[in-house]
Structure 1
Amino acid sequence: GGIYRDVWLHVTDRLHITDAVDANIVAGGGIFVSYPSVSETLAQVQVKTHVNNENATSKDCGVETYIVDSNNMVVAEMSSTQTIPADSDHTFTQSATIANPSLWHPDHPNLYTVYTHVLDGGTPVDNYQTRIGIRSIEFTKAEGFKINGQVLRFRGANRVQDYPYVGFAMGNYGQRRDVLKLKEAGFEYVRTSHCRPHDPAFFRCLRRVGALWF
């Protein structure tokens, strides 16, 4: 019993990006990133930003989004504006194309960072960072699992979180150690079980080292 995860108190402006879980929107809420089209030469990235206006008056809201690669170079910029009525919300949908993208794959887990800024009449009031790996994933009857158009015969493991002396309340170091051990053992995906919720630090590390999960 008790709290065995990090607890954060987020204090925001009344015009702010929502929490994805609290918003309870299918394929939306908070920052939701998808990849409608992916190839080695061109990738389309779609970013949905759900903004809530809890003010008593309408707000001229702007959303500026930047996608930055691992070399800290801006590879895409998007900007949108919308008047949001009082006590209402709006989902900004922005799209960008990235030429010659560095795709995410278990053998080369390339990552980008999406920087999102919310403006109230030109004044910044909220921001968010999202780490993403650009890739396409599909299952076919004939070939099975494919990532970025290539067949991947992966090996997986089931992970039940536990750690000596602390049990479920393991710190980020323990989470990272588990991921590195799984990767060193040759696993490309992990099934998480018997502990809800699993630590976000565990998933962040999986993304960085090149492992899938479900």
Structure 2
Amino acid sequence: MRKMMACMLGAALCFSMAGAETGVSSAEKVAFLCEKMIWNRGWEFRFEDEPGKSGWQTVHLPHTFSLPYFMSDSFYTGRGAYRKKLVMPEEWQGKKVFLDCGAAFQVAEVKVNGKTAGRHEGGYTAFRSDLTPFLKPGENWVEVRVDNRWSPRIAPRAGEHTFSGGLYRNVHLHVCSPVYLPAHGVWVQTPEVTAARGKVRILTEVKNDTGIVRKVTVRHTVREEQSGRVVLRGEKDAELGAGEDSRVQADLPPLASPGLWSPTAPNMYRVATELLDEKGQVLDRAENPLGFRTLELTADRGMLMNGKPVYLQGANVHQDHAGWGDAVTDAGARRDVRLMKNAGFNFIRGSHYPHSQAFLDACDREGMCMLNEGVFWGMGGFKEHDRYWNCDAYPTEKKDRIAFEESCMRQVREMVLQFRN
């Protein structure tokens, strides 16, 4: 739940830019140390394995190979390339520049000016690529090459749904100091939750990519999501050696009478985590959701939430929309969750893969319990010939098994890190 919110403006800022599609223009000489912007509009796309479709066309993200999408017996499998021009402002000199992709199905290679900056396997989890070493002042080209061909060594191998390729979730540019918060590096815990008080512990990963020792402060601010009222503050100092990464633990003061989260009362809080240098300038920033609730599974009373039984009523939900395929907007994800809620459900099983950040955000806010599934899924039986997306779930050939199991576990780890808050 990383809603982009503006940081407080000061001598040096950390701010977000919703809807901005390029770097800061030369006319906007704003001093800043970190910035996050959505980078969805104005890409160019082309198919690379289909005759007659090799020309570049303008597209906006999210995008799928299968547009327009309706139920059909076949879909394009092969390679597609996305590219976009990035004009690097002077203000970015000496900073880290990351490309954060919400997902790409299913193998993605990120290139900057023709050089590989990152690679990711797995079609449903977010990944970050460091563009910094490959950027030059002025004009740059960022390219994401996506391949959705079936592989015996990448999970899932099969499923009763469409495996469309594409850069089908949001893409952000994240610009920050060389001392920064890694992606999904903030872990918000609630070691004690009662109606009388709630305790918050926050573990924050910090990385120092400079060649000198750096002293930093990790500062947390907890607000009620609806009112914006600050309810908790806390901070912790740390010292990082050159090239070092560290985990900084902060135990905030107990919160009296927290609003507990449940399907009937989805009380939500927001945790803003800021990384500051010795002058108090914000080097990097992250925002995460916080809900106070206890969960217990019992043999005789079922699932207990905050000590009370909750009867789960729900269904499977896929991520695709008619016409749009998997390239669903954040607004579309929110609409789906609201429709389920209004129909009387309080539970969604995300079939059969990790869903988008926007979808889980909506579940938190609407009061919807959510089972975000892993990627090991398939249909019964085994096939020796004509293997495709209707294949056996687990490799029949021994040579593929180690790589396949590593694919499953890697994607589960990514899912847990991305959605643990």
Shorter-chain TM-score above 0.5: yes
1:64-213 → structure 2 map (5 Å cutoff): 64-69=219-224, 70-96=226-252, 97-121=254-278, 122-194=280-352, 196-213=353-370
Q: Which runs of 5+ in 1 are unaligned?
A: 21-29
Aligned-residue sequence identity (percent) comes to 33
Which is worse superposed, 93-102 or 66-75?
A: 66-75
Aligned-residue offset at 1:131:
2.0
Alpha-carbon distance in structure 2 between the residues aligned to 1:2 and 1:151: 42
Q: What amino acid maps onto 1:53 in structure 2?
A: N
User: What SS does the aligned partner of 2:360 have?
Assistant: helix
Alpha-carbon distance in structure 1 between the residues aligned to 2:183 and 2:167: 20
Alpha-carbon distance in structure 1 between the residues aligned to 2:208 and 2:309: 45
Q: What amino acid maps onto 2:296 in structure 1?
A: E
Per-residue Cα deviation, 1:18-47 (whole angstroms, up to 9, x for no partner): 112xxxxxxxxx111111111101111111
Alpha-carbon distance in structure 2 between the residues aligned to 1:5 and 1:73: 31
Aligned-residue offset at 1:77:
1.1
Alpha-carbon distance in structure 2 between the residues aligned to 1:91 and 1:138: 29
Q: Which residue of 2 aligns with 1:52?
A: 207
Q: Which residue of 2 aligns with 1:26?
A: none
Alpha-carbon distance in structure 1 between the residues aligned to 2:247 and 2:344: 40
Aligned positions, number? 204
Alpha-carbon distance in structure 1 between the residues aligned to 2:332 and 2:272: 28
Alpha-carbon distance in structure 2 between the residues aligned to 1:36 and 1:197: 26
User: Any conservation in 2 of the 1:62–1:81 contact (CA below 8 Å)?
Assistant: yes
User: Any conservation in 2 of the 1:46–1:95 contact (CA below 8 Å)?
Assistant: yes
Q: What amino acid maps onto 1:12 in structure 2?
A: C
Alpha-carbon distance in structure 2 between the residues aligned to 1:76 and 1:166: 42
Q: Which runs of 5+ in 2 are unaligned?
A: 1-164, 372-421
Per-residue Cα deviation, 1:129-174 (whole angstroms, up to 9, x for no partner): 2122111111122222111111111212111122111111111222
User: What SS does the aligned partner of 2:339 have?
Assistant: helix
Q: What amino acid maps onto 2:314 in structure 1?
A: G
Aligned-residue offset at 1:72:
2.0
Q: TM-score, normalised by structure 2?
A: 0.47
Per-residue Cα deviation, 1:92-146 (whole angstroms, up to 9, x for no partner): 1112211000111100101111111101213221112212211111112222211
Alpha-carbon distance in structure 2 between the residues aligned to 1:81 and 1:32: 17
Q: Which residue of 1 aligns with 2:378?
A: none
Alpha-carbon distance in structure 1 between the residues aligned to 2:344 and 2:330: 22
Aligned-residue offset at 1:197:
4.3
Alpha-carbon distance in structure 1 between the residues aligned to 2:305 and 2:262: 7
Alpha-carbon distance in structure 2 between the residues aligned to 1:129 and 1:173: 20
Aligned-residue offset at 1:67:
0.9
User: What SS does the aligned partner of 1:101 have?
Assistant: coil
Alpha-carbon distance in structure 2 between the residues aligned to 1:78 and 1:170: 37
Alpha-carbon distance in structure 1 between the residues aligned to 2:281 and 2:319: 43
User: What SS does the aligned partner of 1:202 have?
Assistant: helix
Alpha-carbon distance in structure 1 between the residues aligned to 2:310 and 2:242: 49
Alignment CA distance shift 1:73-1:173 (3 Å): closer
Alpha-carbon distance in structure 1 between the residues aligned to 2:216 and 2:300: 48
Q: Which residue of 2 aligns with 1:24?
A: none
Which is worse superposed, 50-59 or 65-74?
A: 65-74
- Say whether residues 1:10 and 2:174 are aligned partners: yes
Aligned-residue offset at 1:85:
0.7
Alpha-carbon distance in structure 1 between the residues aligned to 2:221 and 2:299: 37
Alpha-carbon distance in structure 2 between the residues aligned to 1:208 and 1:41: 22
Alpha-carbon distance in structure 2 between the residues aligned to 1:18 and 1:53: 10
